[in-house]
């Protein structure tokens, strides 16, 4: 089976935000979709390892900020390559506002946001599916949305093969981190973005 076939599915990219008590946090997700019009419902999928998953489970509400083609790599690094358990992602971040539900939504590099309240959760192994009713939605710009393909081709830095390397080089397909060695351990975790060995490829 070639799991790379799944990369051919057309994904968007989003900043998912929530909070519990007084702490806001957010992460990058690639699964957010409208599932019905009447009533207006959306579905998102979050990796259980993400701190934002904990916040959504506690608060039962979230915002989805839809990333546009104006988004730069910094926003992916900020929300995707560090954990909200370790740092406050909004402490020195000023490109956001609060929606009516009191949650942050990102205003830079985004074209819309959606607020929602969780009505149902579905355990899906490594991820949880959250089905939620939409409580607010606003358009922020007319710039096209960022797809996963656009991110790969135009935003994510291209990895460079070390010129003097005699060994095998493995590159994280998510963030570009390089690991040198003939064999990449099966339990290896990227030190930058925390993705597993399955997200590395030889160059």
Query: Which residue, 197, 16, 5, is CA-closest to 89?
Result: 16
Peptide bond into 39 cis (omega under 30): yes
How many other CB atoms are there within 10 angstroms of residue 68's CB atom? 20
Which DSSP string do the residues of 89-131 spell out, in sequence order? TTSS--SEEE-TTS-EEE-SSEEEEEEEEEEEEEEETTEEEEE
Question: Above 80 in pLDDT, residue 65?
Answer: yes
pLDDT band at 69 (very low <50, low <70, confident <90, very high): very high
How many other CB atoms are there within 10 angstroms of residue 155's CB atom? 18
> Taking a C-beta distance cutoff of 8 angstroms, is the pair 89, 79 a contact?
yes
Q: How far apart are CA 113 and CA 49, in angstroms?
A: 24
Query: Which residue, 162, 160, 4, 71, is CA-closest to 79?
Result: 71
Question: Above 90 in pLDDT, residue 173?
Answer: no
Which DSSP string do the residues of 141-191 spell out, in sequence order? --SPBPBHHHIIIIISPPP---TT--S-EEEETTT--EEESSS--TT-B-T
Query: Which of the pair, 145 or 195, is modelled with greater confidence?
Result: 145
Query: Which of the pair, 189 or 97, is modelled with greater confidence?
Result: 97
Token reading at 109: 């590099």
Question: Above 80 in pLDDT, residue 34?
Answer: yes
């Amino acid at each position: 089976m070639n799991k790379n076939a799944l990369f051919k599915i057309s994904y968007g990219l989003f900043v998912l935000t929530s909070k519990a008590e007084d702490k806001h946090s957010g992460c990058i997700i690639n699964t957010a979709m409208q599932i019905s019009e009447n009533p207006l419902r959306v579905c998102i999928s979050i990796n259980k390892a993400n701190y934002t998953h904990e916040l959504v489970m506690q608060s039962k509400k979230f915002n989805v900020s839809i990333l546009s083609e104006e988004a730069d790599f910094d926003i992916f690094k900020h929300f995707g390559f560090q954990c909200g358990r370790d740092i406050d992602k909004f402490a020195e971040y000023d490109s956001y506002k609060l929606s009516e539900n009191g949650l942050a939504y990102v205003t830079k590099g985004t074209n819309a946001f959606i607020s929602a309240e969780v009505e149902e959760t579905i355990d899906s192994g490594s991820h949880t599916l959250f089905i939620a009713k939409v409580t607010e939605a606003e358009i922020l710009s007319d710039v096209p949305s960022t797809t996963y393909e656009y991110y790969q081709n135009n935003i994510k830095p291209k990895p460079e093969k070390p010129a003097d390397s005699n060994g095998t080089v493995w590159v994280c397909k998510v963030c570009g981190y390089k690991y040198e060695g003939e064999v990449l351990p099966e339990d290896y975790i990227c030190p930058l973005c925390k993705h597993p060995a399955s997200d590395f490829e030889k160059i």
